[in-house]
Amino acid sequence: MKKIMLVCSAGMSTSLLVTKMMKAATEKGIEIDIFACSESEAKQKYNDVDIILLGPQVRFLLSKIQKSVEGKNIPVAVIDSIDYGTMNGPVVLEKALKL
């Protein structure tokens, strides 16, 4: 089962997005584990997940995380701001799986 990690500053806004993504996944019948965590919690989990998504407000972490998972085939991306702003679970999920 694939694991997606969403990183944001204090888990304020991502938790809702996670719920919506999970809902979209269930409707499509995709088995997946999605969870949200803060910058500092994320550090210990880089290697346990398959995809890492960042809230746009923590864009500054992108290069740092990319470096620490280098060569491990774990895609890292910043969520599109419109998708994020409108809490568009299905689209975020779809784009993530294409990474």
Partner 1 sequence: MRKIDEVMNWLLSHTEQEHTAKEIADALQLDRTNASRYLNQLQLEGKIEKQNGRPVKYKVLKNSESSSTQPSLDKKFSLDFLIGAEKSLNVPIQQAKAAILYPPRGLHTLILGETGVGKSMFAELMYQFAKESGMVTSSAPFVRFNCADYAENPQLLTAQIFGVKKGAYTGAEKDREGLLSKANGGVIFLDEVHRLSHQGQEMLFTFIDKGYFRRLGDSEDKIISEVQIIAATTEEPESTLLKTFTRRIPMTILLPDLKERGLKDRYMLIQAFIKEESKRLSKSIYINKNALESFMLYECPSNIGQLKSDIQLACAKAFFNYKSQGKSYILIELSDLPQQVGRGHLRIKENRQELEKLIRYQDDIFKFHYDEDDTYLNDEDVNDSYFYEQIEHKLSKLRNDGLNEQEINQIMSMDIEKHFRRYIVDLSPKFRKDEIAKVVDVQIVEFTDRVLSEAARKLNKEFDEKIYYGFALHLNGSIERLRNGKKIYHPKLNLIRVNYPDEFLAAMEIAKSIDETFSVETPLDEIGYLAMFLASTPNELTGEKAANVAVLIIMHGNSTASSMAQVVNTLVGTTHCHALDMPLSMKPQSMVELAIEKVKEIHEGKGVILLVDMGSLVNFSELIYDDTGIPCKTLDSVSTPIALEACRRAVLGRELSDIHNACTELMGRSTATNQINDIRKRNLIITVCFTGEGASERLKDIISHKLELGASFEVVPMNILNRKDFAHSIVQYRQTHEILAIVGTVDIEEQGIPFISAVDILAGDGIDRLKKLVSHQDEYIKIGESLSEHIKSVDAKVLISYVRQFIVDSERMLKVSLPDDVKVGIALHLSFLVDHIKQGISHKDKGELEDYIAKNSREMALIKQQLKSIEHIFKIFFSQSDIAYLTKMILSNHQDTV
Interface map 18-37 toward partner 1 (x if CB under 8 A): --------------------
Residues 63-92 that bind partner 1 (CB under 8 A): 78, 80-82, 84-87
Catalytic residue among 4, 6, 8, 76: 8
Q: 3-class DSSP state for residue 57?
A: helix
Amino acid at site 12: M
Over the range 24-50, which residues count as b (16 or more CB within 10 Å of their CB) and which as e? bbeeeeeebebbbbebeebeeebeebb
Active-site annotation holds for 37 = no
Binding site for partner 1 (CB under 8 A): 8-13, 16, 38, 40, 55-60, 78, 80-82, 84-87
